[in-house]
Structure 1
Amino acid sequence: MILLDGKKTAADIKEEIALEVSYLKNNGQDSPHLAAIIVGNDGASITYVNAKVKACERVGFESTLIRLPENITEEELLNEIAVLNVDNDIDGFIVQLPLPRHIDDQKVIMAIDPNKDVDGFHPTNVGKMALNLPTFISATPFGILELLDRYNVETSGKHVVVLGRSHIVGSPMSILLSQKRKVGNATVTMCHSRTKNLKEITLQADIIIAAIGIPEFLKADMVKDNVTVIDVGITRLADSSKKNGYRLVGDVAFEEVSKKSEFITPVPGGVGPMTIAMLLKNTLLACQRKN
């Protein structure tokens, strides 16, 4: 069993990006500049955005954090986005989700300039991704592709089963891995809450991508020997034996599934760290395109 170490791989990618930034500066160009808008005081969102700001500092990016109150109107938020769209100093920006209930997520995503949409959520970029055209691939799927590539996990001709059909992970992964690309050329089955005979399907899989948000859902009796497992889920479970009172688990019952796996991602330390690294990579790409 080989661990797909997202923490180490993400650190390697950040070092590579830092070298690229140094090259840009040495050639008289500006550093990439990433901005983030966060609305309200959601603890998880604040933690995640702060991690992004620290990552920017580490690789030499400029970063701007715009914190807006929970009760901001949708129109006011759209105005903030419009300002960033025309700011030539900003190469890319994100609006941290989730947003308060009175704000339409899709309307906000649609308002972002696709050329600055480093989250890769705008329909223009999703459409280009589906057509295998150059674009911003959303950070989590991008990170999964990079992990598979750097660990030389063969995908061509393999049967991939994707658990979950979200617009952020499941749907794009099913498209990307079926495309004619280096990490692709797979036969893909997407499963979801209405899928029948799920265990029969997962037992056929060479590669499983679990992104359904149900803690430890995928068990050892659902996978065949030498399977590759990518665990996208992360959930806090109460655990009185831990000092902080909880433990983090994924969508995969790691202890039992890892015994049958050829490759598997841990939780934490697998897909999670890759997401921020690939957001930085998209921002670098946006800067290079602008230049």
Structure 2
Amino acid sequence: MTFAIGQDTPAPSPTVNDATVLAPATADAALQPLSPAVQTLLSFQPSDVKFNLDTLMDILRDKRHEGWVLAAYPDPKTAQPLIGAGFSLDLPAREHPQRDPLNPHMFLEPSSADLWQAAGLPPAQLQQILTQFHDRLGAWNKKGFRRQIWNLDPQITDQDADALLRIGIIQSIDNAKAYCRHFDALSASQQMAMTQLVYQMGVNLEEFSTFLDLINRRGESIDQAAAAMAQADPAYWRSVQMSLVQSQWARLYRARATAVIAMLDPAYVDNPAGAEHSIGAILHPARTRRAHGAALHRASLTHRHSTAVRKRNARVRKD
């Protein structure tokens, strides 16, 4: 998955194959044999979670989170092809071992093609979109391609993008359970927060070791942890939040991080705005190189000004 895209100034369009690819209403996807991963995804029931899936879909469509683009576009960092609300189009199936011996839930990392199939879309359409994406990337390069995002003809419909987003969320729910032993004991907003973290970070969430230690209450027995989770101790959940607030991810993507981290507050449902304000007040954006350069420039000017003042004062005293 990826992060919300920015709007850049459109650049002149080179000549490429611009045939619009719209999702046909066919049964092609249903004719393909279903992999075990796809079968697992299709077995999901809304009652498997406490939050409303449609609510999370609305959140992720928003540009503060993932955005909404109906044609393949490059990830701003990796140039990986994405579509809809940040759905990755070319990931292979991956091994993701469960390293927590007390969590029986296994990770589910199917390929993009499997997820595409689970969403009910025809495989041939995916290949056509990828071919067109690579043609455009070769002609425009990543920066030029991203300038064209809002000029691209749709390659999928809103309904297709909804289906991809839904299946991506279901995969994230499944993996959130693999990351968090006590997922079922979390409140609705906390389950949604865990699901969003997985949706946005995927396997990179493994790097958040302090957060995972805290959310799993490692060092406690299963019974002790379950009892503690039921108490919804504000101090404990504040420490969980702070483990994310102090991360580079939170500083780089402050708006979305504020919204997600706030949902871990056990009192979130009573005052969502207050919970977000509490996190926003302590979560400061990362310093950019430009800002750092400007600070150095100001410091240099201050130093030169101070030196000039000292020399002028010395001349005055000498006279």
TM-score of the aligned structures, taking structure 2 as reference length: 0.26
Q: Which has the higher contact order (CA 8 A, sep 6+)?
A: 1
TM-score of the aligned structures, taking structure 1 as reference length: 0.28
Structure in which a larger fraction of residues adopt strand: 1
Which of the two has higher C-alpha Rg? 2
Structure in which a larger fraction of residues adopt helix: 2
